[in-house]
Amino acid sequence: MTITVHLGTRSYDITLERGAIGRLHQLVNLDRQVLVVTDDGVPSQLSQAVLDQCPQGRRLVLPQGESTKTLPYFERICRELLRYSFTRKDCLIAVGGGVMGDLAGFAAASYMRGIDFINIPTTALAQIDSSIGGKVAVDLCGVKNIVGAFYQPKAVIADLSALDTLPPRQLSNGLAEAVKAGLIADPQLFALFEEETLDLASIVRRSLEVKRRVVEQDETEHSLRAILNFGHTLGHGIESSLQLGGLYHGECVALGMLPMIEDPALRERTIKIFQRLSLPTGGSFNREAIWEAVHKDKKSQGNGTITLVKVPRLGQARLDTVPLERVRQILFEEAWI
C-alpha cells in the first residue's frame, strides 16, 4: 500500500509492501547516477537488490553503529558524491536503519544544497518512525541529532520482508515507537499490542499514519510536531548518559515515556506491553549524567524551562513547559527507574 505525505512541493509516497525493494525501479527513477549508502550490519543482499536495478549505481558501505552518525562520515559521503561528479539530478539512496537514514539524508540535503534522497529503512525502528518526517542529522560531542536539517525524501520504501531476519530485540526497539504513536494519538494502535498475536503490518501502517498526520500539520516542529518527542527528553538523556551505547534508542524512549503517562492505569497497561516486548521498565542508571544530558537537549529553552510531552489519557498528548528543576525531581525523587 501507499501512504502519501502531503507537504506541497515536498510531498512524497511511502510504499509499505513486502518485496517492494525488488520493484524499486517501478517506484523511483533509477536511470541516473545513484549512490547507495549502507552499513556493514545491514544484510548486503538488500543493498545488492537495489544496485542490481541501477545502471549507474555505486555502493558505499560504512561501519555499523551510532558513532558513524557524525561529521567525518557526513564528509565521507559528500566526498564520494564529488569524486564521481554527482550532479543535482542524481540521487542518493540509504539502505539501513535510522543511523543510515539520518546520516545519508543530511548528506543528500547538503550536497549541492540538496539532491534527491530515497530512504529504504530496513529496521523496525526506521520503518515505523525515523524514515519519515524529514528530520536528518548527525551527532556532535555525544549530543544526538544536534547538527542537521529538515529535508524530505523523494520516496520511502518500507519493505516488510526486511524485518524477517531482525533479532527480536531489534524488532522491539522499533515497536517502542509504535507504542508511543498509539499512546499519543491512536488508541486502536495501542490496543493492537494487547492482542494475542502481533499484527506487524497493521502496527507499522497505523504508526506511519500517526506520524504522517502530525508531520503534515507541522513540518518543521514549531508546535504540534513536538508531541512526537513523547518519551524522548528523558529517553535521549538516558541514551546520552550511556555514551550512546548499552541500550537501544527505542528502549531508552520506552523508559522515558513511563513517567510522562499521567493515568496510573494506562501506565500499568503500558508496562505490561513493554514486558511482553522485552522492553526495559527500570534499571540502574547514572542519574547525574542523565540530568547533565537533559540540560544540553535541544528541547531545553535556555530560560531554565523545558517542554515535556505528557499523555493524560490514551490517545492524547499535551505539551507542558516546566522548570528544568522539575526534571531533576523526576530523576532523583520519584521511584521510576
Whether the Cβ atoms of residue 110 and residue 64 lie closer than 8 Å to each other: no
Residue of 69, 205, 236, 269 marked catalytic: 236
Q: Which of 12, 14, 28, 33 binds a copy of itself (CB under 8 A)?
A: 33
How far is the CA of 84 from the CAs of 59, 114, 150, in angstroms? 12, 16, 26
Q: Give catalytic status of residue 236 as yes or no.
A: yes
Site for a copy of itself in 244-303 (CB under 8 A): 295-296, 298, 300-302
List alpha helices for 113-199, DSSP H. 124-125, 168-185, 187-192
Tell me the closest approach of the beta carbon of residue 32 to a copy of itself, in angstroms: 7
Catalytic one of 144, 154, 180, 232? 232
Candidates 72-80, 117-125, 163-171, 237-245; binding stretch for a copy of itself (CB under 8 A) = 72-80
Least distance from a copy of itself to the Cβ atom of residue 300, Å = 6
Q: Does 85 bind a copy of itself (CB under 8 A)?
A: yes
Are the CB atoms for 84 and 35 separated by under 8 Å? yes
Q: Is 59 a catalytic residue?
A: no
Determine if 109 is a binding residue for a copy of itself (CB under 8 A). yes
Give the binding range for a copy of itself (CB under 8 A) out of 110-118, 167-175, 223-231, 241-249: 110-118
216 is catalytic: no
Helices 287-295 and 324-333, axial angle in degrees (round to 10) = 170
With CB under 8 A as the contact rule, the residue among 143, 160, 201, 244 that binds a copy of itself is: 143
Smallest gap from Cβ 143 to a copy of itself, in A, equals: 6
User: In 10 A of CB 129, how many CB atoms?
Assistant: 27
Cβ proximity to a copy of itself, 195 vs 292, nearer residue: 292
Return the number of the residue (109 or 203) whose C-beta is nearest a copy of itself: 109
CA distance 159 to 15: 8
In whole angstroms, give the CA distance from residue 133 to residue 258: 24
Q: Which of 1, 147, 191, 265 binds a copy of itself (CB under 8 A)?
A: 147
The one among 19, 40, 45, 71 contacting a copy of itself by CB under 8 A: 71
Biggest alpha carbon distance in the chain? 60
d(CA 65, CA 21): 23
Of the candidates 7, 149, 224, 324, which one interacts with a copy of itself according to CB under 8 A?
149
- Annotated catalytic residue 25: no
Q: Which of 66, 225, 239, 251 is catalytic?
A: 225
Contacts with 34 (C-beta within 8 Å, 6 or more apart), sequence order:
50, 54, 56, 57, 58, 90, 91, 92, 93
Asked if 304 is part of the footprint of a copy of itself (rule: CB under 8 A), the reply reads: no
Q: How far apart are CA 69 and CA 244, in angstroms?
A: 11
Decide the pairing of beta strands 91-96 and 116-121: parallel
Return the amino acid letter for 181.
A
**Among 71-79, 171-179, 235-243, 265-273, the segment contacting a copy of itself (CB under 8 A):** 71-79
241 is an interface residue for a copy of itself by CB under 8 A: no
CA-to-CA dists, residue 335 to 260, 271, 284, 300, 329, angstroms: 13, 15, 12, 23, 10
CB of 133 to a copy of itself, least distance (A): 11
Whether 334 is catalytic is no
**Residues contacting a copy of itself: total by CB under 8 A:** 37
Residues with Cβ within 8 Å of 30's Cβ and at least 6 positions away in sequence, in order, are 24, 53, 54, 55, 57, 91
- Residues marked active site are found at 113, 135, 177, 211, 221, 225, 229, 232, 236, 249
Q: What residues make contact with a copy of itself under the rule CB under 8 A? A: 32-33, 71, 74-75, 78-79, 82, 85-90, 109-114, 135, 137, 140-141, 143, 146-150, 220, 295-296, 298, 300-302
